[in-house]
Amino acid sequence: MPAETSPDTRATFVVVANRLPVDRAVDDDGNTTWRTSPGGLVTALEPVMRKHGGAWVGWHGAPDEVVEEFDHDGYHIVPVPLSKAEVEEYYEGFSNATLWPLYHDSVAFPEFHREWWDAYQQVNRRFAQLAADVAAEGATVWVQDYQLQLVPEMLRDLRPDLKIGFFLHIPFPPVELFLQLPWRRQILEGLLGADLVGFQTVGGARNFLQLVKTHTPLPVTKDSVEMPDGRHSIARAFPISIDTQGYRDLANTPEVIAHAEQLLDDLGHPEVIYLGVDRLDYTKGLRQKFRAFGELFESGELDPTKVAFIQVATPSRERVDEYRKLRDDIDLLVGRINSHTADLVRAPIVYRHASYSRATLAAMYRIADVMVVTPLRDGMNLVAKEYIACHADDDGALVLSEFAGAARELKQAYMVNPYDLNGLKQTLVKAGFDSPAEKRRRMKALRRQVGTHTIDRWADSFLTTLAQVPGPVH
């Protein structure tokens, strides 16, 4: 198991991710502090890091700026500098306008540009070099996500002594889609530099192994790829989760309970509260969600004076064209629905394009009768799990897209196909007005699942498997 490190020694446990888990904040006196940043990867890995100690290598979020290494919450932070052009080409370009849409079933059109690919390679090489510099002899290095798929191979070339793991937080696409990538061979080879490649679902691991079988000469036996140096690269599913007890405790603090009461008062105690919390991203099925509620409010199947739908859309990737367009579309759609259906007192849709504290989210989870999670494709979806952890009563309900990785585990959710508008509408009504006994039955099972499959278990399972993968034959 990884051990603690101190700032002046090299680390025996290193996480490498595109972003650091902290954002810079400057207070009124001009002092810089670092605050934990929102987002799925950070929510998942921050508790792992606090437990294991070590170093986190990642970009600090400001282009053209060099930031010194520092300590934070018991671990060491190693900022990676990126130029403005690299942010545009490696991050906004290749990562978020090529790989992100392609890996999410091409729900938006992926763009392929050779300059973006060049920047992707260049930045991956820099991350690999910094990880190689900071890792102690024989250290465990855990590389995260789609922005850094070339790092495992590059790092192995630099430091063959390391144990290298890779985890993909987003879906790994079906074979036909992946094959569109002009640089598909390099990406496969990059990933195979890891001793263990982790995916959110069995389907993702299967897609990857299928590609290795058909598009490389390497022998594959079950989930193991035999590499030319005699080592093995294992591909397996490790469904990610949350710090369940941490969320439970947060939701039960007096402050959160009081905030929840306040929210209920402010909303005028609606009979049923539906809630959505998503990054503003075209994969999250927001258009579908709003259209369904719009029709339900307009037809009166949901009474706009008695039912509320709260949607938080956290600002995300605002410099990427597709995200700007989505923001405008949603503003228009919500405005139109509310202008048709609101009375003079309250609009049925409360839409906020803003970021909130974790405690405020917990208060919202507490008061939501129905949590609505409708992605068109999602690696896992932690919001679904956070709701189950925070919603203390068994009277809650989770509406969940079958295209979220979480659907493989949260089988007692009210399952929907977000493309089927009528089906979605029916299920939204059913989840809101189902019998208490049926809701209780489902919530109990969901709570059991999230209570036993925690982020600790996920990390332990990945790291134990990684430690057991046999190394190269010398």
The site for ligand GDG (CB under 6 A) is made up of 38-41, 43-44, 169-170, 240, 277, 279, 314, 355-358, 361, 378-383, 386
**86/386 with CB nearer ligand GDG:** 386
- The two tokens of residue 179 are 């094959």
**19/156 with CB nearer ligand GDG:** 19
The residue written with tokens 């024989």 in the block is 138
Q: Which of 299, 316, 317, 296 is nearest to 308 (CA)?
A: 296
CB of 38 to ligand GDG, least distance (A): 3
CB of 355 to ligand GDG, least distance (A): 4
CB of 154 to ligand GDG, least distance (A): 23
Mutual orientation of helices 358-367 and 382-390 as an angle, nearest 10°?
Answer: 70
Query: Residue 398 phi/psi, 5° resolution?
Result: -115, 120
CB of 271 to ligand GDG, least distance (A): 26
- The two tokens of residue 163 are 């144990």
Cβ burial of 422 (10 Å; 0-12, 13-18, 19+) is exposed
Q: What CA–CA distance (Å, rounded) separates 358 from 381?
A: 16
Query: Residue 291 phi/psi, 5° resolution?
Result: -60, -40
CB of 450 to ligand GDG, least distance (A): 13
Torsion of CA 362, 354, 325, 424, to 10 degrees: 30
**16/380 with CB nearer ligand GDG:** 380
**280/307 with CB nearer ligand GDG:** 280
CB 148 within 8 A of CB 141: no
CB of 274 to ligand GDG, least distance (A): 17
Q: What CA–CA distance (Å, rounded) separates 375 from 91?
A: 22
Position with the least CB separation from ligand GDG: 40
- The two tokens of residue 189 are 């080879």
Cα of 148 vs its chain's centroid, Å: 15
**17/80 with CB nearer ligand GDG:** 17
CB of 410 to ligand GDG, least distance (A): 12
Residues 6+ apart with CB under 8 A from 261: none
CB of 203 to ligand GDG, least distance (A): 14
Cα angle: 106, vertex 16, 165; to 5 degrees? 80
Q: Tell me the helices (H) and strands (E) count for the chain, helix number first.
A: 17, 18
CB of 383 to ligand GDG, least distance (A): 4
Q: What CA–CA distance (Å, rounded) separates 217 from 221?
A: 13
**366/425 with CB nearer ligand GDG:** 366
**148/307 with CB nearer ligand GDG:** 148
